[in-house]
A = this chain, B = another copy of it.
Amino acid sequence: MIDIRSLVLVVNCGSSSVKFGVFAGTGREPLLSALAENLGQPESRLVVKEKGEKTEISLDGGSHDVALQKLLGILDQKGWLSSVVAVGHRMVHGGERFTASTLVTDEILREMDALSNLAPLHNPANILGVRTAMAALPNVPHAAVFDTAFHTTMPQAAFTYAVPQDCYRNLGVRRYGFHGTSHRFVAAEAIELLGLDPNDHGLVIAHLGNGASATAVLNGKSVDTSMGFTPLEGLVMGTRSGDIDPGALFHIAREDGLTIDELDTLLNRKSGLLGLSGLSNDCRTLENAEKEGHEGAKLALDVFVHRLARYIGGLATSLDRLDAVIFTGGIGENSATMRQRTIDRLAVLGLKLDAETNGQMFGGRCGVITSKDSKAAAAVIATNEEWMIAHDTLEAVATSTAA
């Protein structure tokens, strides 16, 4: 048990933004959180949230280091800075090298650098965050928590693409999977909620946010997942296409004369719910528009549900038995409609919705949403990646201190 005198700072560093969270003890909500945006641009700013109150601070065009210094200044004013005992960093890609969270050393930093070619958009920014924070807080341990680590238990048949295996050996092309910290947290929560045997269970977890992925969890281990070499594969997402016939890409590229970079932008930024609806990447907006008769919104939500149910059925074949389907992420935690439409397509797996309890789960409420006679359960569980990072960080520190 940790009290307010030992705080963990959680850092999630992107190319032009950083998210911070300050966690104390076993408390699952951050004492304080902050989001730095538009970094390196004139309008850069830090929005700090504490006990529901928001304060906005200009960063005067400053970048990541300025944002971190400003945040540390705030912690100092509160008398918290000296209580920060560790910093936990979210890393998108740990490749095959990182199978668990780890304390950062110079050697580890070099290894993380070497993985940057696998995630050129994400890892360099993550690493910048680590280096900046290590410079500012050199006397506390820093830990790296990887989005991919939970999926390193996938069997080879699940992670291998049917391309010449030189692509794997020389270019690292395989399924890695992402959202691992969320799937791991939710899997552990599901065992508690449903009273499952930690060594004998089968789950499919659907993390449905702006990014979306589903994972088959067998006895606590990821055995298959919908995201692939990058977070583009799989489900329909806010602006990402998920699966598409490669032959369709070749056709689009030839007919419209697109380069690889333009195709990349098309699929990562202009597709998904946004591309389908022609309206918005936001599920809630689309649900409202659908009610008012917007056809694009209806199509977007229908395709989202079709693909999601197809994946849940597909991933379940990596289990001996399906105990439960778990919904998490912004859409999974809040949209009773999308859960209902998905479960209505899971009759072959024996799922039967309880419409009443389903309607009650939103805004962080967790529980079972299937009827008593449903062959497998479905449940809503609120994810908490940031707390999981704080937790892993303390565990990595404890392990290294013990050794």
Contacts and interface: CB of A to CB of B under 8 A. Distances in A.
Given A165-B296, A246-B267, A296-B165, A309 B303 contact: no
Given A252-B171, A260-B250, A272 B228 contact: no
- Majority secondary structure, A binding face: helix
A348 B216 CA distance: 12
Interface in A274-324: 275-276, 278, 296, 299-300, 302-307, 309-322
Interface stretch (A30-38, A142-150, A188-196, A236-244): A236-244
Interface stretch (A2-10, A14-22, A155-163): A155-163
A182 B84 CA distance: 66
A47 to B, nearest CB: 31
Interface in A250-276: 250-256, 260, 263-264, 266-268, 270-273, 275-276
A236 B162 contact: yes
Q: Bin the interface of chain A by size.
A: 35 or more
A136 B296 CA distance: 49
A210 interface: no
A120 B396 CA distance: 57
A53 interface: no
A163 to B, nearest CB: 5
A307 B162 contact: yes
Oligomeric state, in copies: 2
A107 B145 CA distance: 63
Interface in A211-259: 224, 227-233, 236, 240-256
A271 to B, nearest CB: 5
A245 B233 contact: yes
A162 B303 contact: yes
Contact of A228 (B165, B248, B278, B347): B248
A241 B348 contact: no
Interface string A40-64: 0000000000000000000000000
A248 B163 CA distance: 10
A175 interface: yes
Contacts of A175: 245
A318 B344 CA distance: 10
Contacts of A252: 163, 167, 171, 173
Sort A-B residue pairs by CB-CB distance and give the 6 closest, nearest first.
Answer: A230-B247, A228-B245, A314-B314, A233-B245, A229-B248, A157-B306
